[in-house]
Homo-oligomer: A and B are copies of this chain.
Amino acid sequence: MPVTFCTFVAMSNIKPSLVKGTRDFSPQEMVKRNHIFDTIKTVFKKYGYAEIQTPTMENLSTLTGKYGDEGDKLIFKILNSGDFLSKANPELLANANSQKLISSISEKALRYDLTVPFARYVVMHQNDISLPFKRFQVQPVWRADRPQKGRYREFYQCDVDVVGSDSLLNEAEFVLIYQEALSNLGLKDFTIKLNNRKILSGIAEIIGKPELIIDMTVAIDKLDKIGLDGVSKELLERGFTAADLEKLKPVILLQGSNDEKLNSLRAVLAESATGMNGIAEIETVFRYIKGLLQSNPELNPDLELDITLARGLNYYTGCIFEVKTNEAAMGSIGGGGRYDDLTGMFGLKGLTGVGISFGADRIYDVLLELNLFPESVAAGTKVLISNFDEAAELYALPIVQQLRNANIAAELYPSAAKLKKQMSYADAKNIPFVILIGSDEMQSGELTLKDMHSGQQDKLSLEAIIEKIKD
């Protein structure tokens, strides 16, 4: 039960508030968030990835033009310091032309994702890093989106990428990273979907409409919702012919095991070198995963070849990943893929990369819904020592320190408040044990330990208490 500030008077004329779309995180939320970040980072490290961080602010020119026109509008710009209007074009000022004025009054902006800053990092530090460069990055990003349920203006991204290696072993290991991190978080039923841009290119190529690859994928993706007739109708609207539809049918209706799907695709794509290449890549990834898991047959990722998977199609050039939980109604909780020219935007050509990211905010909501946060995660202070009076306080001073010396998070209530208040404090902070020290305890040296869950009280020596609480 939280103790409130009933004795204080809040002036009604000043009401602080949060910026729309941003959040405070309470101690209870922070331990849960850290549990997610720590679990994911531990797995990243085990697979040889190392952490970097980039600044919150980037030059506006670094970000502009990387996310499309819509993206550019969603970048938070920082007003230049000092007399920022002195450099502004008077005509634009007079016409109140906001969009054209931006570049003359703002040179900096907030990070919009972790990918562009990573590309900048690789280019700027190219002489200091060794390839392949395996990095992870867990930092907030900002988008001036309209806030809504589950969509924030400040949120964390957890990205893990390797640049400078075209080996498909990387793709295979990303599947295992998903498998291990999400399992360690307690998720039991999730599907890791896999696709390859080259398969999609191959299909569009076979039909003779490579330029319609995105229209094709968007339409096929709706099969579950609108059925074959709906998809066919949409494909016709998007510029495909009835003859194209005949060729596409086996692709749209692709089903069965991954092997069965690959067999069907092999027939359809036989004449497309690109398409066959995509199939070969998927097979290689599967082979690597099998090899890696040889000694772990119990780890069997639910891996699904899904050729409707099209996330970031403009961007990805090889494998594409997406993870969906089947235990809660939630969009994807992770995704990624290979991109063949990450650093080209900053003039460094020919560097291939592949990476995935975890949707930490969505994972948080899923774990909460499924009650998957371990109880130990809530543990802050392990034991509170009550404070009855000056003598008891004095007696308690070395005791609280000895508990801390034993690596037990401990507090001595800082004043001789009413016991009820001290107990409420322990309750509100979810402190599992309270040590009560009265005159009996000071005389005998045996302290009263109260278990706040069961209510049980025992008289124990400090050594026994340390032994008991440590477990």
The one of B45, B86, B142, B425 in contact with A96, judged by C-beta atoms closer than 8 angstroms, is B86
Q: Are A130 and B26 in contact (CB under 8 A)?
A: no
Check A315 for interface membership: any CB of B closer than 8 A.
no
With contacts A50-B380, A79-B78, A120-B16 taken as known, whether A425 is within 8 angstroms of B27 at the C-beta atoms is no
Q: Are B55 and A30 in contact (CB under 8 A)?
A: no
> What string of 1s and 0s marks CB contacts (under 8 Å) between A42-75 and chain B?
0001111011111111110010000000000110
> What string of 1s and 0s marks CB contacts (under 8 Å) between A23-34 and chain B?
111110011001
Residues of B within 8 A of A288 (CB): 397
Chain A interface bracket (under 10, 10 to 19, 20 to 34, 35 or more): 35 or more
Q: Are B400 and A4 in contact (CB under 8 A)?
A: no
Q: Are A11 and B347 in contact (CB under 8 A)?
A: yes
With contacts A56-B140, A142-B56 taken as known, whether A96 is within 8 angstroms of B102 at the C-beta atoms is no
Check A250 for interface membership: any CB of B closer than 8 A.
no
User: Which of A27, A101, A123, A348 has its CB near the most chain B CB atoms (within 10 A)?
Assistant: A27
Residues of B within 8 A of A102 (CB): 79
Residues of B within 8 A of A142 (CB): 56-57
With contacts A56-B142, A79-B79 taken as known, whether A398 is within 8 angstroms of B294 at the C-beta atoms is yes
Q: Spot the interface stretch: A226-234, A405-413, A441-449.
A: A405-413
Besides A18-B55, A27-B51, 16 more A-B contacts (Cβ < 8 Å) are: A2-B129, A5-B348, A8-B126, A8-B350, A14-B345, A16-B59, A22-B55, A24-B124, A26-B128, A46-B407, A56-B154, A76-B79, A85-B98, A93-B96, A291-B398, A292-B401
Residues of B within 8 A of A24 (CB): 52-55, 121, 124-125
Residues of B within 8 A of A26 (CB): 52, 125, 128-129
> What string of 1s and 0s marks CB contacts (under 8 Å) between A285-298 and chain B?
00010011111100
Q: Are B294 and A381 in contact (CB under 8 A)?
A: no
Residues of B within 8 A of A398 (CB): 291-296
Q: Are B348 and A400 in contact (CB under 8 A)?
A: no
Q: Are B410 and A144 in contact (CB under 8 A)?
A: no
User: Taking CB as reference atom, which chain B residue is nearest A404?
Assistant: B46
Check A456 for interface membership: any CB of B closer than 8 A.
no
Q: Spot the interface stretch: A164-172, A195-203, A318-326, A329-337.
A: A164-172
Residues of B within 8 A of A23 (CB): 55
User: Taking CB as reference atom, which chain B residue is nearest A17?
Assistant: B59
Question: Would you give 10 A-B contacts (Cβ < 8 Å), ordered by A?
Answer: A2-B129, A8-B349, A10-B123, A14-B346, A56-B142, A76-B79, A76-B108, A130-B429, A288-B397, A295-B401
Q: How far is the CB of A49 from chain B (nearest CB, A)?
A: 8
Check A424 for interface membership: any CB of B closer than 8 A.
yes
Query: Which residues from chain A sit less than 8 Å from chain B, CB to CB?
Result: 1-5, 7-19, 22-27, 30-31, 34, 45-48, 50-59, 62, 73-74, 76-79, 81-86, 88, 90, 93-94, 96-99, 101-102, 105-106, 108, 110, 120-121, 123-132, 134-135, 140, 142, 144, 153-154, 162, 164-167, 169-170, 176, 288, 291-296, 345-351, 380-381, 384, 393-394, 397-398, 400-402, 404-405, 407-412, 414-415, 424-425, 428-429
Q: How far is the CB of A83 from chain B (nearest CB, A)?
A: 5
The one of B132, B345, B394, B401 in contact with A414, judged by C-beta atoms closer than 8 angstroms, is B132
User: Taking CB as reference atom, which chain B residue is nearest A34?
Assistant: B51
With contacts A22-B55, A34-B51, A130-B424 taken as known, whether A415 is within 8 angstroms of B98 at the C-beta atoms is no
Residues of B within 8 A of A73 (CB): 81-82
